[in-house]
Structure 1
């Protein structure tokens, strides 16, 4: 408590608009590192990309073992997409977060996000936009969730197309 009885003020990193942003460096799986430590370059937030650019960059990051960073790319698409495809991009971002949790050893979180992401992309299976392999991603997500829930298996890289 401060001298006036209120909770002490905690200074937080903020962006130009005043929103809280963690400026600490991050490792390849998105975990914060101590200030001043070398980390993986952060991707700018809120970038509007074409679906082609989004899928290419997200796949590159997934292939590099950086699912947290792939999630950030997919999250930008989710937040800037038209309503018709919003759940698709949200689900893809959730699959990447599930892969992040699995890579960090949080199998419970991974199972939850893989199942949630699969549920969000399922409606796009019959007519998948942008060449996305929705059926393959569903198979991947369900198989990985089952294996992680059972405490077995590794997490192969998902193929978006």
Structure 2
């Protein structure tokens, strides 16, 4: 038995729901976001600044810690929300949050004085923005159902 060369090695594409793609993108974003913060600790003088109570010229008091937690909590919650919210709300939430986090990602390097780490920060911001662009595209391109399909699904749900 012989197979044609066009079908012999063909792999079937797995169709993931948009919610799963969005949740995976937010999880990837969070891993990157947290590792950038962690790897920043390897920069000489970084831990000394933290011990002295200053990070990028901000006092590390309760306000700073609460804001830092909020900046981390939003993408963390987006993992769950992307998997759990209804399609219309899910799409809107992902579009708004991803659009807001692009300037947040870029601002994170604004206080950086050492350009010797510019490759590190450029790469990290580039990857974060790339993931956020993926979220924006996936949410924007969310497949729509036709009115006939939606009416049928609604009728089945009522029955």
TM-score when normalising by structure 2: 0.34
More contact order relative to length (CA 8 Å, sep ≥ 6)? 2
Query: Which structure shows the bigger proportion of residues in helix conformation?
Result: 2
